[in-house]
Amino acid sequence: MRIPIFYYHSVGGPPPQTLALESFRVHLDALRRAGCRTLTVAELLAAEVEKRSGDIVLSFDDGLLDNYTHVFPLLLEYGFRATFYVVPGHDGVTRWVHPRSGRWSDVPRPGYTIGFETMGALQRRELAAHGMEIGCHSFTHRKLTGLSPAELHREIVESRARLQEELGREVLTFCYPNGRFNLEILRRVEAAGYRGACSTLPGYHNPRGSRFVLHRFLIEDPGYFEAVAGGRAFSRGPLGRLAWRHVRTAVGLRYPCRRSGSSAVSAGEAPVRERLVQELDRFPGFPDDAQGRGVVVCAGGLHLLANAYVGLRRVRESCDLPVEIFYVGDQEIPPSVRRQMARDLGKVTFRDLAAVELPGKPSLAALRGFPAKPVALIASRFREVLLLDADNLPVRNPEPLFSCPAFLESGALCWPDLPQARYTEDSLYRAFGLPPALNREGPEFESGQMLLDRKRAWRGLAAVCLLHSEDLRPFVYARTHGDKDTFRLGFRLTATPYRLIQTPPLPLGSQFLYWRIPWLDREVTIPHQAGSFFGTGILQHGPDGEPLFAHRTVLAWSLYRRFRMMTHLASRGAAAQRSPWLEELEEGGFRYLDRFRDLYGSAFPPDRLELRTARLMKLGSAMVDALVLLRRCLRKERPERPR
């Protein structure tokens, strides 16, 4: 169950970071029509509070006076509750805020505007008396990452004590000012007695994730919820479109919210099971001409093909398995590139998904996304298939997988996702006639690699393919994330046997941003903002428990940016450690990227955004070079000190 936390700053106040009062009322109207129930952040974290579909959390940062004068009466009118994160050191004071940076300041300076009046103790007590949660947003709203231990104690511990004395009740949750925190701050917040803490990272609340890094959706666009109702909200960019789908589903504008305790399928869900069964009966049988074994990769377009080239070069270092690369149209992979790469890699066949005929086949636009893998598995000419994501690197020879007992017994060998990755809702299983508890049995799948005997798993693959059809895909995608766990659902719907690798995956990533400058013999090391481990991939193991695949799930290989982002391994129960063999793996990947750019880069139209980034990086590198030379010159000219 995915429960969103929405957070606001000012409502009906002066810009910046304000939402019009009329827009906020439109939001509340949408929530009430959808039958949503509001929880406080503390209730969201409390195990004794029953959660249900349609639950949401409203939160308001900074303790602004307009939250009391404008928001509070509307919440009472609609019967909603919320969490208010207040700053006790700002009691009843007008603060100043920069219109672009949104940072508080005690003294107005040129370029600053009068910001917001803040609440005092009387207003906070009245909010608490009416069932609102009062949370702590530090003592003075300073960026915690640059403070001394004594200052952190004041911002985290003393602020909580002051609020608890003022309210006469326990303050249960914290909110990081400006979203800045690191591992030390997180531990201090937990040690102070808080039960959870909110960040500014976008996304749903993950019950299996850290209670002290709660994700939230920011609401500050003056016309935001009018845009939601019109289907235009968050429409700018891929991340924006993803957030738009999340919020539409969360407020019930796409599918109705269900009431607590109901195990029945709603009227909107009832037909999906019947439609799937009907399409399964009409689905073509396993092709008689499929034979042999090989690797299948979906890699259309310059970015994915460059990543796939790195992975397939790794495959060629250890085995000569034949490969099928699936794409959509000549614009994704020109014919000249296909011919040259077939000679370069050997035993490579290119297959156009646009030419595949299947019942319920997704549109060509959809085939450039998650549905590509299920359709490619159906269209492959191999009987036994190793499916690899384009950004997945084999650490060693994957060919022995085809002979392992787990695969020979079942015909389907799958890999688990990270333990905290829980995206699939119980309602998806209920809609297809499966017990909702089945969704919580075992980990979700991670589909960056799968080993399949297509003949034995054919009916399960057909069900997976149909779950991505134009008819069912909107319903399914609203209740899970992409294609990965649709394999688990499809196999369970058709009783297709499978085996799951028993060794849990490990997070890969880095604690620093390593920027290598090729024409200088140096590497710039930049610590991450959070000051702690930043996950960028997953290390998957083979049946023998040894590392087998390094899947770069975040910040995949780029032809233009030489950032090494997969250098640390976060072992279970231990801090992340820098790993030399991972560094060697990345260095080899960059060598293959250079080769790909030299051989094939000119055949693709330039990516303007990537080129702009590359030029900025080149300018930055030139500046570093100039500073190094200047420093050397100054050292030479500086007279030696007398001894």
Does 202 share its domain with 308?
Answer: no
The Cα–Cα gap between 584 and 586 comes to 5
- 465 assigned to some structural domain: yes
In contact, 143 and 530? CB cutoff 8 Å: no
Residue 56 in domain: yes
Structure letter (DSSP) for residue 390: T
Q: Is residue 259 assigned to a domain?
A: no
Task: Answer yes or no: do 291 and 405 share one domain.
Answer: yes
* Same domain, residue pair 34 and 108: yes
101 assigned to some structural domain = yes
Place of tokens 């303007």: 608
Tell me, yes or no, whether 262 lies in a domain. Answer: no
CA separation (Å) from 167 to 29, 65, 77, 243, 291?
Answer: 31, 17, 24, 36, 72
| Separation of alpha carbons 95 and 140, rounded Å | 11
User: Are residues 103 and 160 part of one domain?
Assistant: yes
Place of tokens 């906070």: 124
| Residue in this structure with the two tokens 């919210």, named with its chain if needed | 257
Domain shared by 238 and 350, yes or no: no
The reply to whether 447 and 549 lie within a common domain is: no
Residue count (the chain): 643
Please check whether residues 599 and 611 belong to one and the same domain: no
Please provide residue 253's backbone torsions phi and psi, each rounded to the nearest 5 degrees. Answer: -85, -10
Q: Round to whole Å and give the CA distance between 391 and 399.
A: 18
| Residue where one domain finishes, among candidates 447, 482, 499 | 499
User: Do 102 and 116 meet the contact criterion of CB atoms below 8 Å apart?
Assistant: no
Q: Which residues of the chain have pLDDT under 70?
A: 1, 14-17, 92-115, 220-270, 512-532, 560-563, 572-575, 606-626, 628, 631-632, 634-643
Number of other CB atoms surrounding residue 128 within 10 Å: 18
**Tally: H helices and E strands in the chain:** 21, 29
- Exposed, middle or buried, 314 (CB in 10 Å: 0-12/13-18/19+)? buried
Together in a domain, 76 and 204: yes
Do 338 and 371 meet the contact criterion of CB atoms below 8 Å apart?
A: no
> What are the backbone dihedrals phi and psi of residue 210, each rounded to the nearest 5 degrees, phi first?
-70, 135
- Residue 35 CA, chain-centre distance (Å), reads 28
What pLDDT score was predicted for residue 376? 96
- Spatial CA neighbour of 370 closest among 484, 289, 264: 484
Q: Which of 499, 528, 563 is the last residue of a domain?
A: 499
Does residue 260 fall inside a structural domain? Answer: no
- 5 strand-pairing partners: 57
pLDDT in tens, 488-521: 999 999 999 999 999 999 988 887 665 555 555 5
Same domain, yes or no: 40 and 86: yes
pLDDT tens-digit map of 139-177: 988 889 889 999 999 999 999 999 999 999 999 999 999
Instruction: Record the tokens describing residue 165, joined without a space.
Output: 């004395």
Single residue among 484, 499, 514 that ends a domain in this structure = 499
Helix H or strand E encompassing 457: none
Give CA–CA dist 601/579, Å, rounded: 31
| Amino acid at site 363 | S
Instruction: Give the count of domains, the chain.
Output: 4
Q: Let me know: does 152 contact 177? Beta carbons within 8 Å.
A: no
Does 619 lie in the same domain as 595? no
119, part of any domain: yes
Q: Which are the contacts of 540, defined by CB distance < 8 A and separation ≥ 6? A: 415, 446, 448, 449, 501, 505, 547, 548, 549, 550, 551
How far apart CA 37 and CA 463 sit, in angstroms, is 34
CATH of the domain at 351: 3.90.550.10
Check whether residue 510 and residue 385 sit in a common domain. no
Whole-number pLDDT of residue 266: 44
d(CA 183, CA 145): 10
Residue 412 lies in a domain: yes
Residue matched to tokens 């503390």: 42
Domain with 611, as residue range(s), is 607-638
Residues 71, 198 share a domain: yes
Angle at which helices 580-600 and 335-345 cross, to 10°: 130
User: Computed over its alpha carbons, how large is the radius of gyration of the chain?
Assistant: 27
